Structure 1
Amino acid sequence: MPPHKKKGIPDRWEDYQAAGKRIPGTRFISFKVPLKQALCDLVEHSEPFGPRELMQILEKDGQELGLIIDLTFTTRYYKPEDLPDSVFYLKIFTAGHEIPSDSTILSFKRAVCRFLRDNTDNDKLIGVHCTHGLNRTGYLVCRYLIDVDGMDPNMAVELFNSSRGHSIERKNYLQDLQTGPKRSNDGMEKSELEPIRGGYRSYPDNHRDSHYNRHYNHGPSVPLHRRGMNHQKHSRCLLPPPLPPHGMWSPQPGLLPPPILSNYQWRPPPATWRR
């Protein structure tokens, strides 16, 4: 194994296409983990894929990303500050190879449910990734489609595979999805983890040289306390804080309105997706 693999790009990361397509009839789109610029510089056999490239891919397809759910079991690949401030980021640490626990599954359902409730007036997508955007990602997305939307397990797996452009590989994941019990949705409407807003109003034109410098424009683009940082350690914020966006996450979950899920009733996609 090349020396840079251990602390650099993930193993086999270059073997997978960067991003799939939106899963028909849902808000989900899956992709492999985007890499910060220092790691993109190590990519040799494929195109670099970082937060900016992710946004370009979605823009080209006419899609807008609203939330990223990061399922990797590390924080070294990129940071929320590397994302534009139009995107929220949520970390759910999920170990690889093993079936996600019921608590992890519920955390994922809660994150999706909250986003859908707060974004009934738009069509923004939920981006989900693990390392390759395939096994853990595929399992939890399919688990949601099966448990919450009532989709047939085999259809859920086929739909995910065709949209991602790769098939779920781990047999224990597939067996649990296809023949295992459904997981409970009790408590799914409760808020749990607080998403973090991305750190850029826009990317610098010379982002390759800037390494997504968080001091671009001489200061962070959003108040430090809203980016999960200790603002008491910083003397000032040189940029004025932006106005609160429409539909911003409520800091008081207890005051949230009742969940509105009717806008997200899965319906069979057109026959064109079938192989």
Structure 2
Amino acid sequence: MRAHSMDDRFAFASIDANTVTPDKQFILIGHSMGTSLAGRVALRYGPGRCKGVVAICPPSHVDPKMRSTRKSLAYIPEFVFNIFRAVDRSGGLTSHSVNRMVSPSVPPTHEIRTKQLRINLQVNTGPWMKTAYNFEPLTSREWGELNCPVFLIGSENDVVTPKNDVYDIFGWLNDKAKGGKNVIDPVILHDSGHAALIEKHHVLEGLISDFIIKHVNIKLSLGWQLAYLASKSDKWSLKNEAKWRKTLAVGEKIRGTRLRGMKTLRQNDLEHSPSILEKKYPDIYSIIDISREPPPYDPASFTRISYHKFPTVSKLPPTKKEVADFIEMVDTCMEEIKLRTQSADPPPDATLAVHCHYGFNRTGFFLCSYMVERLGYSINEAVEAFSISRPPGIKHPHFIDELYVRYEL
């Protein structure tokens, strides 16, 4: 039972870290038993190389009963254990093998269960038995010796590594650091089980991104990199103008709302100018321009549509303050439409359009936030509704991740 022991896996991971990135720094992300491997590699290379550890559903100990039971793995033939596994999978999407990993709130036929069952089927019995037999979690001393930022993430409904394990480990880190800079408050994911990587991947991606930005290096964030590249380019270069022309001018009205997303206008464009917009879309009463730069059109040339400027930075998800101010501006616009039409409620077909440059990322983020906070949409419903009205929807993954972090935690 020596093959596939934690020592063997640690050796392989260490060799990989040293050969692939011999002089480079890295961040380690582990899930379940993988968190112990990540921690030991971090201890080996120290803070000079390892700049952070993210531990998702980390085990703080092996239950005494389980420790006693797993000794039998040394004597059970693989074909016998395969029979146990087949029985455990009996029931398919609602089998013990799946229920153990996903949250009880996941519907019986949901794709999350399908993915988890597929993962279970792909696990090779022999290596798993050997790994489980030899597994030892990091000790309290080892956790305390980690001299880099450590971010702990647990799941509310995890029965494999319960959320109390996260609190145990956080206590060990806190005792050792005594409130130092490496102590980061843990996060517990709601309505999530041990399969958090499947169930809450958008939330996890956003949390890990925030951890890297705040505790490692802001230049590693996708938003910072995209903003830097954007600062070096001309939005109206030949290439970007061609991209703008290919982009859908105005999206459909988002279902259940009075909102539309659109791209910016150009003053004398033959297809998408202020005058053409007013002719083609008599339902649009107001426009909120969220681009940072002065618009490439004259807002004063509108004869019917009311123009509002709300400048924001591209490539970076809007802040909570910006979202709150945007929602207040939309509310004000809606009241303005009521006054203009002299009605208690805006006309049924009256809409408000929002645009940045192309009308996907910042526009989608603000509109989805409005739908969640004002109209009671779930974040899934809001993101889907926007993508249907203005395909393909929000393009930047870090924008979507931030929405899930903001509205699911």
Fold in common (TM above 0.5):
yes
From 259, 269, 273, the counterpart of 1:50: 273
Cα distance, 1:175 vs structure 2: 0.6
Cα distance, 1:122 vs structure 2: 2.6
The alignment status of 1:112 with 2:343, answered yes or no, reads: no
Alpha carbons of 1:76 and 1:31: their partners in 2 closer, same or farther (altered >3 Å)?
Answer: closer
**For each residue in 1:207-229, what CA deviation from the matched residue of structure 2 results, as whole angstroms up to 9, or x when unmatched?**
xxxxxxxxxxxxxxxxxxxxxxx
Instruction: Please say if residues 142 and 153 of structure 1, whose CA atoms lie closer than 8 Å, have aligned partners that are also in contact.
Output: yes
TM-score (norm 1): 0.56
**For each residue in 1:124-177, what CA deviation from the matched residue of structure 2 results, as whole angstroms up to 9, or x when unmatched?**
211111101111100000011112222110110110110113321011110111
Q: Which residue number corresponds to residue 254 of structure 2?
A: 23
Unaligned runs of 5+ in 1: 41-46, 184-275
Cα distance, 1:70 vs structure 2: 0.2
The alignment status of 1:167 with 2:393, answered yes or no, reads: yes
The alignment status of 1:92 with 2:315, answered yes or no, reads: no
Alpha carbons of 1:8 and 1:167: their partners in 2 closer, same or farther (altered >3 Å)?
Answer: closer
The alignment status of 1:70 with 2:289, answered yes or no, reads: yes
Alpha carbons of 1:3 and 1:34: their partners in 2 closer, same or farther (altered >3 Å)?
Answer: closer
SS state of the match for residue 29, structure 1?
strand
Cα distance, 1:4 vs structure 2: 9.6
Alignment of 1:112-131 (within 5 A): 112-118=330-336, 119=338, 120-123=344-347, 124-131=350-357
Give the RMSD, CA atoms, in angstroms.
Answer: 2.6
**For each residue in 1:62-85, what CA deviation from the matched residue of structure 2 results, as whole angstroms up to 9, or x when unmatched?**
xx221100011111411211211x
Q: Which has the higher contact order (CA 8 A, sep 6+)?
A: 1
Instruction: Please say if residues 252 and 389 of structure 2, whose CA atoms lie closer than 8 Å, have aligned partners that are also in contact.
Output: yes
The alignment status of 1:79 with 2:298, answered yes or no, reads: yes
| 2:356 aligned partner, one-letter code | C
SS state of the match for residue 245, structure 2?
helix
Unaligned runs of 5+ in 2: 1-232, 339-343
Cα distance, 1:10 vs structure 2: 4.7
Alpha carbons of 1:9 and 1:182: their partners in 2 closer, same or farther (altered >3 Å)?
Answer: same
| 1:72 aligned partner, one-letter code | S
Cα distance in 1 for partners of 2:234, 2:370 equals 38
Q: Which residue number corresponds to residue 112 of structure 2?
A: none
Name the stretch that deviates more: 110-119 or 65-74. Answer: 110-119
Cα distance in 1 for partners of 2:355, 2:255 equals 18
Instruction: Please say if residues 33 and 132 of structure 1, whose CA atoms lie closer than 8 Å, have aligned partners that are also in contact.
Output: yes
| 2:277 aligned partner, one-letter code | L
Q: Which residue number corresponds to residue 161 of structure 2?
A: none
Cα distance in 2 for partners of 1:8, 1:87 equals 30
| 2:279 aligned partner, one-letter code | Q
Cα distance in 2 for partners of 1:104, 1:3 equals 25
Cα distance in 2 for partners of 1:7, 1:169 equals 22
Cα distance in 2 for partners of 1:4, 1:150 equals 35
Cα distance in 2 for partners of 1:3, 1:135 equals 18
Alpha carbons of 1:182 and 1:92: their partners in 2 closer, same or farther (altered >3 Å)?
Answer: farther
Cα distance in 1 for partners of 2:369, 2:346 equals 24
Alignment of 1:196-207 (within 5 A): none
Q: Which residue number corresponds to residue 149 of structure 1?
A: 375
- How high is the sequence identity, in percent, across the aligned residues? 25
Cα distance in 1 for partners of 2:355, 2:366 equals 10
Alignment of 1:247-258 (within 5 A): none
Q: Which protein has the bigger helix share?
A: 2
Instruction: Please say if residues 288 and 307 of structure 2, whose CA atoms lie closer than 8 Å, have aligned partners that are also in contact.
Output: yes
TM-score (norm 2): 0.38
Q: Which residue number corresponds to residue 44 of structure 1?
A: none
| 1:158 aligned partner, one-letter code | E
